[in-house]
Amino acid sequence: MFEADRFAARILQEGNSGYAGFAAARLLQDAPELHERYGAKALAGWKDNLSHRLEEISIALDTGHSEFLMADIKWERLSFQAREFPESDLAMGLDSLACVLGESLPEKAQKSVLNLLDEARRSFDTPVLPTNSYLDPAQPAHRHAMKFMQSALDGDVRKAVADLRSLATGDTGPIGVAQDIIVPAQREIGRMWHNAEATICEEHLVTEACLQALIAISHSCETKPANGKTVMLASVAGNQHDLGIRLLALDFQLEGWRSINLGTDMPAKEMKAAALKYQPDLVILSAALSVQLPALEQAVACIKDALAEKAFILIGGRALSGLDKEARLFGANATGTSLEQARDIGQRLLAGMNPG
């Protein structure tokens, strides 16, 4: 963690498009071979890439955390490796940003921005290696995950789902199937796509099968009697990841909660209307990437606007790892990153305790 610089964060946010455009143009001027490597869309593609990077830098400066920025750079380096593009192109992109920002930012904002870019640039000195498979054939649950993926890739999604449904109604149980088989299968196909070991079509097929399996399980397993409580869940605006909230929604449903899952990419204003309609006791908001943190903050504000202190607001997801000690972040009541944390809060609410 470092000292946040909200002034610099704001300037980068406001000037994002211009700075990214200038930096992309400079990059292509300094390295004309990139035109050939990335084709007709080289300028637009690099402008997008650098604009995304600036957004992350701005969030890092706003929160005082650079872990997400560094993790994302690592992720891109691995993607470039897998697709046989030189990682040095990414490093040159950062150099162009540093030049443009060094020339155009007001002096007061320069130091923290350039320090962060320097840290990012130095991260290229450490080599990155592709992640190995998440699935270990020695583990029975992982063998089920492999079979499930294979059936989906063979085009037999009904078999893939039926196999898991029978495990869910048997000893493994619905949450066991979801956590120990579906989640690893989803992570594995994501990893394979990232490492160019699976095509986009293959990734989509397995992702779809994972979602179908979760839905099938939620309809075929018995739930506890209704406990009179409502939980409302959503992935905030910009967040397309929804397996996490589906899993949490299922867990609460099985415990007898009325579970309202608003799904992905949910605008804060729409959430406010839903909060007024469903009057939840607990609201769970999920963000996967650091660039979604402003949307998360906005969502908390809208829910509080609708319900004041009536609902307990729990925020979490991957974007919050590292920030989960900051309990009242963005005005929420608690922060968490695991199913167990959410479950624990739900149980305390049911018992009439204040889980905050």
SS3 346: helix
| Per-position DSSP letters for 233-275, written without gaps between them | EEEBTT----HHHHHHHHHHHHTT-EEEE--SSB-HHHHHHHH
Structure tokens at 25: 């143009």
Cβ-based nearer residue to ligand B12, 115 or 179: 179
From the CA atom positions of the chain, what is the Rg in Å?
A: 22
- Of the candidates 97, 99, 93, 173, the one whose C-alpha atom is nearest the C-alpha of residue 141 is 173
Tell me the closest approach of the beta carbon of residue 192 to ligand B12, in angstroms: 9
Inter-residue contact 233 to 284 (CB < 8 Å) = yes
Nearer to ligand B12 by Cβ, of 105 and 314: the residue is 314
Cβ of residue 106: shortest distance to ligand B12, in angstroms?
29
Residue nearer to ligand B12 on the CB measure, 80 or 278: 80
Nearer to ligand B12, 65 or 272 (CB): 65
Closer by beta carbon to ligand B12, 100 or else 291: 291
β strands within the chain, DSSP E: 230-235, 258-261, 282-286, 312-316, 334-336
Q: What's the start-to-end Cα distance of the chain, in Å?
A: 24
Q: Based on CB atoms, which residue is closest to ligand B12, 9 or 245?
A: 245
In the complex, what is the shortest distance from the CB of residue 5 to ligand B12, in angstroms, rounded to a whole number?
Answer: 21
CB of 48 to ligand B12, least distance (A): 10
Q: Closest separation between CB of residue 178 and ligand B12, Å? A: 8
Chain positions contacting ligand B12, by CB under 6 A = 68, 71-72, 75, 183, 186-187, 190, 207, 238-245, 247-248, 284, 286, 288-289, 314-318, 336-339, 341-342
Q: In what order do the strands lie in the sheet with 282-286?
A: 258-261, 230-235, 282-286, 312-316, 334-336
> In this complex, which beta carbon is closest to ligand B12, that of residue 68 or of residue 330?
68
- Which of 103, 129, 128 has the alpha carbon at shortest distance from 114? 103
Q: Which of 286, 282, 222 is nearest to 253 (CA)?
A: 222
With contact defined as beta carbons under 8 Å apart, do 322 and 334 qualify? no
Cβ-based nearer residue to ligand B12, 109 or 293: 293
Torsion sign, CA atoms 319, 323, 327, 328: negative
3-class secondary structure per residue, 221-239? CCCCCCCCCEEEEEEECCC
| Nearest distance, CB of residue 90 and ligand B12, angstroms | 13
Our CB check for ligand B12 shows the closer of 110 and 321 to be 321
Minimum distance from CB of 6 to ligand B12 (Å)?
A: 22
275, 307 Cβ separation under 8 angstroms: yes
Nearest residue by C-beta to ligand B12? 190
Question: Minimal distance in Å, beta carbon 343 to ligand B12?
Answer: 9
Question: For residue 340, what are the CA distances in angstroms to 99, 211, 344, 346?
Answer: 46, 21, 6, 10
How near is the Cβ of 28 to ligand B12 at its closest, in Å?
Answer: 21
Shorter beta-carbon distance to ligand B12: residue 109 or 286: 286
CB 191 within 8 A of CB 133: yes
Q: In angstroms, what is the minimal distance from the CB of 108 to ligand B12?
A: 29
